Amino acid sequence: MAAYSDRDGFIWMDGKLQPWREANVHILTHALHYASSVFEGERCYDGKIFRGRDHSARLLKSGELIDMDIPYSVDEIEAAKAEVLKANNWDNAYIRAVAWRGAGEDMGVASKRNPVRMAIAAWEWGSYYGDAKMKGAKLDIAKWKRPSPETAPSQAKAAGLYMICTMSKHAAEAKGCSDAMMFDYRGYVAEATGANMFFVKDGEVHTPLPDCFLNGLTRQTVIGMLKDKQIKVHERHIMPEELEGFQQCWLTGTAAEVTPVGQIGDYNFEVGAMARDVAESYEKLVRA
C-alpha cells in the first residue's frame, strides 16, 4: 500500500475537492501542536454510508465539547461525503471526516482567532483486524487507563483522547496482539483502543457502561439488535475479575464492525454462536 500522503484521488477540504497529494496543512496548524481536532470514522456499504447523519451530528457535537464551532451543517457534511465518494468512484469505503483549528494569529494554548477547518477523505479498507473475524482477536491489557470525565471530554471523538490508545496498541502489537483492552480510571473494564466491548455469560450480554468513554454508534446499533433478538443486555460496570467467568467476547466499532475476541491477556473466550450471529446480523443490516 502507498503511504496515505501519496495516493491518487481527491480529498474534500474547506468546501472543495483537492487532488489527494495537495490536501496539506501548515506546520503551525494549532491542532498539530495542541490536539484541537475532532473526527469521525464511517463506512460506506454498496453506495450507502451506514448511519452517516448520526456521524455528522456527532462530529458537530464533538466540536462543541472541545469549544470549537465547526462551520458546516449536517446537510453540508453529508453532501461533502457524497462528493468525495463520487469523485473517487467508490461504493465501498471508509470515510474520515476531521475538523481542526488551523494556523492563524494564535500560536499558544488559546486559539480563538484561528480558523476552524475541515476535510473529508475516504479510502478502500478491508477488515480492521484481518482474519480475527474468523478465529477471534488476541488482546493485550493496557497499562494506560481511560481518564475521568472531569479530566477530559470523554464523549467527544477528539484526537487528544487517542494518544494513550496509540501507545497501548503499539505495546500490544509488540506482543503479537491485535489490540489492547483498557480499564477506566476506577479500574473497571472500559474498551479497546478503538472499539467498544461486549461479553457473554449464560446466554446474556454484558457491556461496560460508557460513562467515561465514547458510547459508539456501532455499540448502540448492536445493543438494539440484541434487544430485537430478545437477548438480555446488561450495561454496567464490569470488574476485572469477572473476565474469567465470561464465555464469549466481541468488539464493536465502525472500523472493527463486529469482531469476536479469542483472548484477553490470560483469559480465553470461545468464538461462539452468539458472537458469530451478531457479526452476521450486523453485516446484513449495514448492507440492507
Instruction: Please report, for residues 46, 92, 97, the alpha-carbon distance to residue 288 in angstroms, rounded to integers and kept in the order given.
Output: 9, 14, 24
Helices (H), the chain: 30-34, 52-65, 74-88, 132-135, 163-174, 217-228, 273-286
Query: Annotated catalytic residue: which of 81, 133, 138, 157?
Result: 157
Based on the residue annotation, tell me whether 157 is a catalytic residue of this protein: yes
Reported as type and span, the H/E element at residue 178 is none
Count the Cβ atoms, other than its own, within 10 Å of residue 104: 17
Signed CA dihedral, 238, 239, 240, 245: sign only: negative
151-157: Cβ within 8 A, 24+ apart: 151/185, 153/65, 153/66, 154/211, 154/212, 154/213, 154/214, 155/61, 155/62, 155/65, 155/214, 155/215, 156/38, 156/61, 156/62, 156/65, 156/66, 157/38, 157/39, 157/40, 157/58, 157/59, 157/62, 157/214
Closest CA to 161 of 11, 8, 16, 39: 39
The sign of the CA dihedral 265, 146, 248, 280 is negative
- Fill in the amino acid letter for 62: S
Active site residues: 157
